[in-house]
Structure 1
Amino acid sequence: MPLNAPGPASPRDLLGLWRSNAAPWVDAVRGRRIESRRVATDAAVVQAVLAAAPRRVLDVGCGEGWLSRCLAAQGVAVLGVDAIPALVESARAASGADGARFATARFDQLDDAAYAGFDLWVCNFSLFHPDDALHLLRAAAARLAPRGRLVIQTLHANAAQADADGWQPGSWGPCGGDFAEPIPWYFRSLASWRALLAAAGFGAPQLREPAHPGTGAALSYLLVAACLRVDP
C-alpha cells in the first residue's frame, strides 16, 4: 500500500485517500478480486519469505494483514505495520490463533529501536513513493539483524507499461467496490531498485519475476537482498 503522495501533495494528502479507501480495499483483497495476486504474486511473496527461513518478520505496509496471517500460520513470529489505523484494526480483527501482531506506524517511524532485530522485512506492493523507498531501505539496513534479508515485491515494467522511473496514474481496475479517487504511484525501474539497494547497504538482489500462468506475462519484480552489515 503506498503511503505518500506525488509532486506538491503532502503525505497527509495521500494518507487521507487511503483512509477513504480502506474499507473497499479490505473487501477487494479478501474477496480475491485482483487477478495477478490470485494467480501468482501472493504465492510468490509467501514462498520468497519462507525460503529465507526467518524467525521474526516485519511486514511493512501490511494493509489488512493477509500476508502476516499467512506467515504466522507457518510458525513465523510476525509484526505487521501500516499507517492506516482502519487497516490495522481490520487486520487485528481477522487475526486469531495464528498469532500475528499488528501496529500502526508510518515508514518514517521504522528506524525506531522497537523495529530492530527482525530477521526479515517484507514490503509487498507497499513501496510506491520514492521517498518511502529511500527511507525504508536505510532503516532496514540499520535495524535488520546482521545478514538479515529484505524482500520487496513491486509492479513489473510490463504491468506498469513503463521502463523509466516516474509517477503513474492510479486505477482501482478490477478491484470493484465503492472506491474513492485513484491514488498515483511511483514506478521504479529494475536498475533503479538495484542501485538503491546497493546504496543502502544491501548485496546484489536475487530477482524473480512471477508470471501469469495463462499468458506467461511477468506480473511483478520480486527482489530478495541480504543486508551487508555485520555487527561486532
Structure 2
Amino acid sequence: MLDIQEQQILSAWHQNAQPWIDAIANNEIESRIAVTNQAIIDAVLAEPTQTAVDIGCGEGWLVRALTSHGLDMLGADGVPKLIEQAQLSGDGQFRQVTYEEIANGQLNDSFDTAVCNFSLLGHNSALGLFTAFPNLLNSNGRLIVQTLHPLIACGTEAYKDGWRPGSWAGFKGDFVTVPWYFRTLETWVALFTQHGFRLIHLYEPIDPSTGHPVSVILVGQLTQ
C-alpha cells in the first residue's frame, strides 16, 4: 500500500506527462544536455552488457539511446501517456508497469543491467524496487542509479534523510509539484549493500559551467 507522498508522486506524474514530453523534445533541461545524459550512457556502456531495463523510463530517450549502441532494452514506467509516447518515438520495447507491480514480481524478465535514471523519487517505492532488483538481474548483474547529488540537492536544509517539497523552477511547462525523498550519500550506498550489491563505481558528473557536481551515479554489482 502506497503512503500519501508516494500516491502524490504517481498522481502528479500522470498530470506532468505532457509537459515533460515537451520539455525533453525541446531540450529545455540544460544539465541533461550538458552533463547527465551522456554520463548515464557512459556508465551503462562501461561494462559489457547485452540486456538492460530502464525503470522509470519516461518518454524513452535512454532506451532509444542505448538501443542504438546495440543493447536489447526494455523501458518500464507506470504512466500510460509516457509509455504511449515512448512506443511512438522509435526503437526499444516498452511496458506499462508501476514500481509497486515490479516490487511484487510482475516484471518477470532477467537482465544484465537495471538502470534508474533520476527515477527513484520515493521512499517505500524505492525500497520495494531494491528488494526486487536481485530477482531481475542475471548473475553478477549491475544496478545503476543516477540521482541528484545529495550535497548539492540538500541546499540549506539539514543533511538528513526525509521528504522534501519539489520544485519545477526554470521549467516552462505547467508542472504539478512532486514531493521527493532526500537521501544522504551514506544512505544511498547502504541501499546497495543491504540488498546484495557491491558498490563498484561512484561517479560525480560535474557541471563545466559551475565546477560543481550535478548528480551522482552509483553502480552496484550483484553478489548474491
TM-score range, shorter chain: over 0.9
Does residue 82 in structure 1 map to residue 82 in structure 2?
Answer: no
Q: Which residue of 2 aligns with 1:174?
A: 170
Does residue 40 in structure 1 map to residue 35 in structure 2?
Answer: yes
1:208-219 to structure 2, matched below 5 A, reads 208-219=203-214
Where in structure 2 are there 5+ consecutive unaligned residues? none
Does residue 102 in structure 1 map to residue 94 in structure 2?
Answer: yes
Question: In 1, are the aligned partners of 2:6 and 2:122 still within 8 Å (CA)?
Answer: no
Does residue 153 in structure 1 map to residue 149 in structure 2?
Answer: no
How far apart in 2 are the matches of 1:207 and 1:167?
24
Task: Please list the CA deviations of residues 176-221 of structure 1 after superposition, one character each: whole Å capped at 9, or x if unmatched.
Answer: 1222x21111111110011111111111241100010121110111
Give the SS at the match of 2:76.
Answer: strand
Question: What is the TM-score of this pair, normalised by structure 1?
Answer: 0.89
Question: What is the TM-score of this pair, normalised by structure 2?
Answer: 0.92
Q: Which residue of 2 aligns with 1:192?
A: 187
Please report the RMSD computed on the Cα atoms of aligned residues, expressed in angstroms.
Answer: 1.7
Query: Could you tell me which of 133, 137, 145 is aligned with 1:144?
Result: 137
Amino acid at match of 1:109: E
1:14-93 to structure 2, matched below 5 A, reads 14-93=9-88
Deviation at residue 114 of structure 1 after TM alignment: 4.1
How far apart in 1 are the matches of 2:169 and 2:108?
34
How far apart in 2 are the matches of 1:187 and 1:198?
18
How far apart in 2 are the matches of 1:113 and 1:24?
29
How far apart in 1 are the matches of 2:179 and 2:163?
7
How far apart in 2 are the matches of 1:113 and 1:52?
27
Deviation at residue 10 of structure 1 after TM alignment: 5.8
Distance 1:171 1:10, change over 3 A: closer
Q: Which residue of 2 aligns with 1:183?
A: 178
How far apart in 2 are the matches of 1:165 and 1:30?
33
1:2-21 to structure 2, matched below 5 A, reads 9=4, 11-21=6-16
Structure whose residues are more often strand by fraction: 2
How far apart in 2 are the matches of 1:10 and 1:192?
19
Instruction: State the identity %.
Output: 40
Deviation at residue 58 of structure 1 after TM alignment: 0.5
Task: Please list the CA deviations of residues 63-93 of structure 1 after superposition, one character each: whole Å capped at 9, or x if unmatched.
Answer: 0100000001111000000010000001111
Amino acid at match of 1:155: L
Query: Could you tell me which of 112, 125, 128 is aligned with 1:119?
Result: 112
Where in structure 1 are there 5+ consecutive unaligned residues? none
How far apart in 1 are the matches of 2:129 and 2:107?
15
Question: In 1, are the aligned partners of 2:117 and 2:145 still within 8 Å (CA)?
Answer: yes
Question: In 1, are the aligned partners of 2:199 and 2:218 still within 8 Å (CA)?
Answer: no
Distance 1:165 1:194, change over 3 A: same
Question: In 2, are the aligned partners of 1:64 and 1:87 still within 8 Å (CA)?
Answer: yes
Question: In 2, are the aligned partners of 1:113 and 1:143 still within 8 Å (CA)?
Answer: no
Q: Which residue of 2 aligns with 1:134?
A: 127
Distance 1:62 1:150, change over 3 A: same
Question: In 2, are the aligned partners of 1:116 and 1:145 still within 8 Å (CA)?
Answer: no
